[in-house]
Amino acid sequence: MSAQGTNQTTAYHRILLKLSGEALMGELDYGTDPLRVQAVAGEIAAAHARGVEIAVVVGGGNIYRGLEAAARGMDRATGDYMGMLATVLNALALQDALEKAEVPTRVQSAITISEVAEPYIRRRAVRHLEKGRVVIFAAGTGNPFFTTDTAAALRAAEVHAEVVLMAKNGVEGVYSADPAKDPAAQFISELTHREALTRGLQVMDATAFALCMENNLPIVVFNMADGSNINRILSGSHVGTLVKT
Ligand code: UDP
């Protein structure tokens, strides 16, 4: 049981929440919207108050988008390192908002930036979680050619999270086709990893998905726009799409 309270009534004891950079962007074209960050922090704080151990992987798409023009023509690896640094900015913004909400939070970065964040140390991350601190994993996997989805799957497996919560913006979960392009697209409320693979359904990127499948890690894809969803998932309600073995 975690340090900050009881979690007898929650469906999961330790979760990994994947937030894309866009989840922090609000209505902006790019960048971070303080009100949005505050709202996300509020949802995490509510989950924390229920005694759930929470690890977060943040993306960087919201900031990286503003850098895309600069990155054009660059070596792919250089652009990717810029993307990873963008996730650090988001991690710090989220940490600040969480601490304003009185949630003890640590940022661990896969790229060493010792003045602003701890380095990623698995055992230390687990200890923070056990002590009831929210741990934000920044800088993705620390390697170019990967994504923060892969970082989410990797860290979830490493810290033994019971589930990966994939927050989406304005999308309820997994569909049989892209609902924005195909009006006949059907919502899928539950499926297995293997079904998702054979049907070619986009749950997360392929590397990340393979990691979840190999480690029998359940994934819940849900809409972050509904501020009650994380709380409902923790209460055991069926929200969005559940992918499990
Ligand atoms: N990135 C990377 N390695 C990682 C994670 C991220 O190179 O392990 C880079 C990559 O360029 C990616 C960017 O960081 O495009 C931002 O991450 P992502 O696109 O996953 O963020 P999101 O779309 O979730 O906001």
* Pairing, β 219-223 against β 241-244: antiparallel
Confidence (pLDDT) at 71? 81
Instruction: Compute the mean pLDDT over every residue in the chain, rounded to the nearest whole number.
Output: 94
Confidence (pLDDT) at 51? 97
**CATH code for 14-244?**
3.40.1160.10
Label residue 204 by pLDDT band (50, 70, 90). very high
Is residue 144 lining ligand 1, measured as CB closer than 6 Å?
A: yes
Ligand 1 atom, smallest distance to 79 CA: 11
What separation in Å is there between the alpha carbon of 7 and the centre of ligand 1? 32
Are the C-beta atoms of 109 and 119 separated by less than 8 Å? Answer: yes
Task: Give dist(CA 91, CA 21) in Å, integer.
Answer: 10
- Is the pLDDT at 187 greater than 60, yes or no? yes
Are the C-beta atoms of 134 and 140 separated by less than 8 Å? Answer: no
Is residue 146 lining ligand 1, measured as CB closer than 6 Å?
A: yes
What separation in Å is there between the alpha carbon of 110 and the centre of ligand 1? 12
> Model confidence over 14-37: pLDDT tens digits?
999 999 999 999 899 999 999 999
Sign of torsion over alpha carbons 68, 74, 79, 81: negative
Confidence (pLDDT) at 129? 98
Confidence (pLDDT) at 112? 98
Confidence (pLDDT) at 4? 52
Domain ranges across the chain: 14-244
Among residues 170, 164, 214, 168, the alpha carbon closest in space to that of 193 is found at: 214
Tell me what the mean pLDDT of segment 88-109 comes to.
Answer: 98
Measured by CA distance, the residue closest to atom 19 of ligand 1 is 61
> Model confidence over 31-84: pLDDT tens digits?
999 999 999 999 999 999 999 999 999 999 999 887 878 888 899 999 999 999
> Model confidence over 1-10: pLDDT tens digits?
444 555 568 9
Mutate to test the pocket of ligand 1, among 108, 137, 147, 166 (most ligand atoms within 8 A of CB): 147
- Kindly state the percentage of the chain with pLDDT values over 70: 97
Confidence (pLDDT) at 180? 85
Residues 6+ apart with CB under 8 A from 228: none
Q: Residues of 27-48 as b/e, b for ≥16 C-beta within 10 angstroms?
A: eeebebbeebbbbbbebbbbbb
Confidence (pLDDT) at 212? 98
Mutate to test the pocket of ligand 1, among 80, 85, 171 (most ligand atoms within 8 A of CB): 80
Cα distances (angstroms) measured from residue 157 to each of 16, 116, 142, 182, 217: 9, 25, 16, 34, 7
What separation in Å is there between the alpha carbon of 139 and the centre of ligand 1? 8
Tell me what the mean pLDDT of segment 196-225 comes to.
Answer: 95
- Is the pLDDT at 92 greater than 70, yes or no? yes
Confidence (pLDDT) at 69? 80
Amino acid at the residue 89: L
Among residues 6, 2, 231, the alpha carbon closest in space to that of 135 is found at: 2
